[in-house]
Structure 1
Amino acid sequence: MLAGEIAGPAVRLTIQATNRGSEPVNLDLFVVNAYVGPELTPAGNVTQPGGRPFTGTLAPGADATGVYLFSIPTDQRGRVRVTVDYRAQEPRVVFEGSLAG
């Protein structure tokens, strides 16, 4: 854990990006967030153990994988929304559902 991170229940999300365009994509601009419950309360980011956010440049036709950790208590995993933002002019990608089980 890093300074400011608090131990507790967390989820690990693996997200794959594919560059279907003709120009390289700067993966350092990707922002991944998670929200829980009907009020969509922001989940806390955690980096360890095993977090590997997107970094570098993604060439046209290539894939990249990012691993994101979020502090989400077990009893709040019934409704989770994950957003992936790249740039303001690009559409936001949204995943929503239950992580309970």
Structure 2
Amino acid sequence: MSTEPTPETAPDQPARRRWIVPAAIAAVVLVVVIILVAVFSPKNAGTVTPTDSPSTSASPSTSATPTSTPSASATPTTPATPQPTSGTPIEGEPGEEVEVPITDTPTVAQGISTSLASISAVQGVGDEPGEIAGPAIKFTVNIINNTSSAVSLRDVVVNVDYGTDRTPASELNDSDAPGFPSEVAAGQTAAGTFIFTVPEDQRDIVRISLFYSVDTPVVVFSGAAPR
């Protein structure tokens, strides 16, 4: 015995077809939407990135740093040269005596000047044979070398006389009166200390003679000495 479709089941198939068609259309639409989103979303994201790159244009502000480099040019400093001590030029023939005040600073040669740094009254002591102790004067003479090289002082001679008749004074050898060193360096001052016996009542006129060399005049510091 064969079975025949009943009248109730035959109409279900057309109804199912009516549901499948809209579902397929919806699926197609969904796929299209997904494709559109995938296609257009990178373009929108890419348009944002260019706006960020110009912000790096602020880096040229580092160009201000070169302005600090010229300040280094101020570091080199020129060494200061010693200023020559002013002196009063003296005029005279070699070996000729030229008197100057005790407070003066005469120039004895080119770039060489001298001065009487100090003078005082002392009681001289005779330590060497033939020396006679007694009232004396102690003084220091400076020789200023304003040249660019050392100058020998081996030939420098100092003498003292006093009174109107120019009586020679006797020098006393003393550890406190070492005389001049052998030379004076460039730009330096050499000091020579001496002690000579001079009677106290004969110090109104005292002459301290400085013989520097055979080619220069003899400088004579003239004036009253302490008693």
Both proteins in one fold, TM over 0.5: yes
Q: Percent identity?
A: 37
Deviation at 1:88, TM superposition (A): 1.0
Q: Please give the alpha-carbon distance, in whole angstroms, between the structure 2 residues aligned to 1:76 and 1:54.
A: 26
Instruction: Decide which structure has the larger Cα Rg and report it.
Output: 2
> CA RMSD for the aligned pairs?
1.3
Deviation at 1:20, TM superposition (A): 1.7
Q: What is the aligned partner in structure 1 of residue 206 from structure 2?
A: 80
| Between structures 1 and 2, the one with greater helix share | 2
Please give the secondary structure, in 2, of the residue aligned with 1:82.
Answer: strand
Higher relative contact order (CA 8 A, sep 6+): 1
**Number of residue-to-residue matches in the alignment:** 101
* TM-score when normalising by structure 1: 0.91
Please give the secondary structure, in 1, of the residue aligned with 2:194.
Answer: strand
* TM-score when normalising by structure 2: 0.42
Change over 3 Å in CA distance of 1:57–1:49 after alignment to 2: closer
What residue ranges of structure 2 are gaps of 5+ in the alignment? Answer: 1-126
Q: Please give the alpha-carbon distance, in whole angstroms, between the structure 2 residues aligned to 1:49 and 1:89.
A: 31
Q: Would you say 1:28 and 2:154 are equivalent positions?
A: yes
Q: Please give the alpha-carbon distance, in whole angstroms, between the structure 2 residues aligned to 1:49 and 1:88.
A: 29
Q: What is the aligned partner in structure 1 of residue 119 from structure 2?
A: none
Deviation at 1:98, TM superposition (A): 0.4
| Between structures 1 and 2, the one with greater strand share | 1
Q: What is the aligned partner in structure 2 of residue 53 from structure 1?
A: 179
